[in-house]
Amino acid sequence: MTAPLVVAYRSPELLAAATAARLVTQLVDAQAARGEVSVVLTGGRTGTAVLEQVRESPARDAVDWTRVDVYWGDERFLPAGHPERNETQARSALLDHVPVDPSRVFPMAPPDGPYGDDPEAAAAAYAEVLAAAAQPGDQVPTFDVCMLGVGEEGHTASIFPDSPAVHEKTRPVVAVYNCPKPPPTRISLTLPAIRRATEVWLMTTGESKAAAVATALSGADEVTLPAAGARGQRRTLWLLDHAAAAKLPAPPA
């Protein structure tokens, strides 16, 4: 795993537009090489804005959306269609507007889904989905791109500082309880699963994130600041606006 690359943009809007262009290019290049491509989506303001920019991009149709596998890094354990679910936001922003193959879109189960109000069962089921797509002997496929957000306290996906999820070393997916941000119950990939991605992109904006960004990039341990443990096999990108990059010791690209 290589050292992180930091890229900062003047505004959140420019970050979203540039990341969307980067994502389209990445998907097209991967399909040119192998025909298939996989992406892990994130929710929140920035993640949703990126998908909206992809939807509006004139280059979006360069991607063969029927050959894209879509996963999520985490999910709020809320009923299907709830506006706060990452799946709902992603469908509204992009997936409902491109010809994805429904059989290749893999949302995490809601409490009104097949596993009922049991986040442990939903997490175990998602782990089975990942294992089915992985190479023999692996728990998780090699995602081409895993997109993540970063919280003010340094959480990523739904892995919070010094939580059971950040200490998990064997399971690829876990149920998360008592989250400090609502809703309290979620499902999340773990850091070992995230680190199976070829590229990990951590996207965040705003002055309130600046301390967490600077701490993560100064060598913090992942238990204290989980975002520091999110790394790609080939590349780790921190995609920031200038406000989020304000406390870095050296100006980013």
Residue pLDDT, tens place only, 28-77: 999 999 999 999 999 999 999 999 999 999 999 999 999 999 999 999 99
Rounded CA separation 216/205 (Å): 15
Average pLDDT, the chain: 96
Query: pTM (2 decimals)?
Result: 0.96
Domains, the chain, ordered by start: 5-241 (3.40.50.1360)
Convert 40-58 to b/e letters by CB count within 10 Å (16 or more is b).
Answer: bbbbbebbbbbbbbbbebe
DSSP 170: S
C-alpha atoms less than 13 angstroms from C-alpha of 245 in its C-beta half-sphere? 20
Largest Cα–Cα distance of the chain, in whole Å?
50
User: Tokens 């069962």 identify what position?
Assistant: 121
pLDDT at 161 over 90: yes
Rounded CA separation 147/218 (Å): 21
Nearest to 74 by CA among 194, 186, 191: 186
